[in-house]
Chain A
Amino acid sequence: MPLRPLHAALPLALLAAPLLANDAGGGAGDAAGGDRYAGAVARTVTALIEYSTWPSRPNPLTLCVAGAVSHAGQIEELRLSDGRKAVRRNVAPSAAALGECEVLYLGNMGQPAMRQLVAAVRGKGVLTIAEADPDCRSDAMVCLIYLPAGLSFQLNIDAVARSGLRLDPRVLRMARGGS
């Protein structure tokens, strides 16, 4: 237990990679009805999936969306550059509903609920992305950050290490102030 604070502090301090989604501004009047981040979110999620490696290389991937989402308007069926697909599935925010998920997109919900869901998939090879946790306290692997200039994201190295997934080291290195 004495190790815990150090361990917990590390990922939070580590990674803050701002994603400057320049085209997000241009796409302000898209299907999401004025959501200027929707395109950037879809692109970022796609890229994150692409740079993550599952042990079994599933195709298509199941992208589970839980909770109340506000920027996932363009996440429907994502095409990956290697030809695979990621299919969206809205699920109830409960641990039991996450059995077939490869990606878990967490919408707005309470911190305890998020932690609970993340804990439920830890070590099972699920990429967890928090839409509404800018401080990244939910233990999700990726936390989206909304900046005036565009979309950015933060990586929780600790969560990445325990996820059972392999994330491309180049993505890890992209974090400013990272190693």
Chain B
Amino acid sequence: MPAPCESALPTLRDILARVHLRLILFAVILATASLLVSGALVIRNYSQRNLDLLAHTIGYTVEPALVFGDDQAVREGMIKVGGVVGIDHIEVFDPAGRLVADWHRGHTGMPQWLAHRANAVIWPHPSVDRIERGGTAIGEVRVFGNSGGLVRYAISGAIIALCCLALTVIATRILARRLQQDVIEPLGAVGTVAHMVRSERAFGRRVPPSGIAEIDHFAQDFNALLSELEGWHAGLTSENAELARLATHDPLTGLGNRALFERMVGEAIGQAVRSGASFAVLFLDVDGFKAINDQHGHDAGDAALREVAERLRASVRHVDSAFRMGGDEFAVLLGPLFNRAHVDAVIERIELAMGQPLLIPGFGDASLGLSIGVALYPDDGVSPQDLLRRADAKMYKHKHDRRTNFEGGMNDA
């Protein structure tokens, strides 16, 4: 099951996108958190000082009113000074602990429970100012901070952070796409070429330059490797073709050998069975070859065989093919035929060609005869063995007849 396993592997783009996303998320969260925390601490610090200052100011302001015992004046002075943003409520006590005046901020724009919770967390203790006169305490001011500003700061900070995160995700996508274009596409081009080479043997393909140093080096090496592979492949192919040709051809004459002939006959039978056409097999034997060989040597014999092969090749049609079966025996496979007359025409052309005197370089003229046996498919047999045997027999009969005729002629002369 390699396919699902392969598809389950993450792509380079995915990995890069994920790494980027994590990196930027980490950075944004870290920056946001540190900014929020430090900002909140600074704001709270200043607010604390503000509360202390306010408590002191309120204490100073309401001191005469406390001395005169004017609760109303205490209340008014307290509100005039302390009724500002950032204060949740103010209480003024006299030395006996009686609540002289208090003031509460009304609606803060936040849910009540949230405001209470936040106030309890951020301002657990009020700012306290003891009002003294001549060394005796005459009252106490308690100022409770309002966390609304801080909470709003935190909320707006969180919203900004979320917006940043959204931007981050978009930026990561864009970055990943960029990376894909710049890095992964060149790599993909290498992969495509490698795949083409492997599946289609397209050794001529080359990886285009990418514009990235590392990938370009890689692509150059890859292209060089491809060139070497192409060379090896071409050499192997031609060697293979040469070997195949050697295995099926006669090195002396360049004609097909017996093995090729038998294979071709088999194929011709298959084709004839499918198409219903007929074909013919000729067996040829060179008369007098032995005499040339004996009189003029093997070189002359070889030259004679080459000449015979050449004439045979020239005499048959382009749909026919000639073979050297071994020694001085040749064969011709005649392609699809309509009637016997075609066969006779070919035989006539062959005999005409062989009737010309043979000029053997270095040895002079020689004359050769040819015995021909014909077997027709399907009249003389439907199996290769039958056809070959039949053709062979006819050839020998022909040879015998010719010899008899020749001797008879001699006798007549």
Residues of A bordering B, CB below 8 Å: 17-23, 40, 43-44, 47, 50-51, 80-83, 150, 168, 170-171, 173-174, 176
Contact = CB atoms under 8 A, between A and B. Distances in A.
The secondary-structure label for the interface of chain B is helix
B70 A17 contact: yes
Contact of B70 (A19, A23, A80, A81): A19
Contacts of A173: 77
B134 A82 contact: yes
Given A81-B134, A83-B134, A174 B69 contact: no
Given A17-B70, A18-B70, A174-B73, A47 B134 contact: no
A18 B72 contact: yes
B97 to A, nearest CB: 15
17 contacts: A17-B68, A18-B70, A18-B72, A19-B68, A19-B69, A19-B70, A20-B70, A20-B71, A44-B68, A47-B64, A50-B133, A51-B67, A81-B133, A170-B65, A173-B77, A174-B65, A174-B77
Contact of A21 (B64, B69, B73, B77): B69
A149 to B, nearest CB: 10
Contacts of A21: 69
A20 B64 contact: no
B72 A47 contact: no
Contacts of A51: 64, 67
Interface in B146-189: none
B29 to A, nearest CB: 52
A17 B76 CA distance: 12
Nearest to A46: B67
The secondary-structure label for the interface of chain A is mixed
A38 to B, nearest CB: 15
B133 A20 contact: no
Contacts of B72: 18, 20, 176
B69 A43 contact: yes
A151 to B, nearest CB: 9
Which among A17, A44, A83, A174 has the highest number of chain B CB atoms within 10 Å? A174
Contacts of B135: 81
Contacts of A22: 69
Given A170-B64, A174-B68, 18 more contacts: A17-B73, A20-B69, A20-B71, A21-B69, A43-B68, A43-B69, A47-B64, A51-B64, A80-B134, A81-B133, A81-B134, A81-B136, A82-B134, A150-B69, A168-B64, A170-B61, A174-B65, A174-B73
A10 to B, nearest CB: 21
B63 interface: yes
Nearest to A43: B69
Interface string B30-73: 00000000000000000000000000000011011101111111
Contacts of A17: 68, 70, 73
A176 B65 CA distance: 12
Interface in B52-105: 60-61, 63-65, 67-73, 76-77
A40 B69 CA distance: 9
A176 B76 CA distance: 9
B223 to A, nearest CB: 94
Nearest to B135: A81
Nearest to B66: A47
Contact of A170 (B63, B134, B136): B63
Contacts of A50: 67, 133
Which 10 residue pairs are nearest across A and B when measured between Cβ atoms? A81-B134, A170-B64, A174-B73, A47-B67, A81-B133, A82-B134, A171-B64, A19-B68, A47-B68, A19-B70
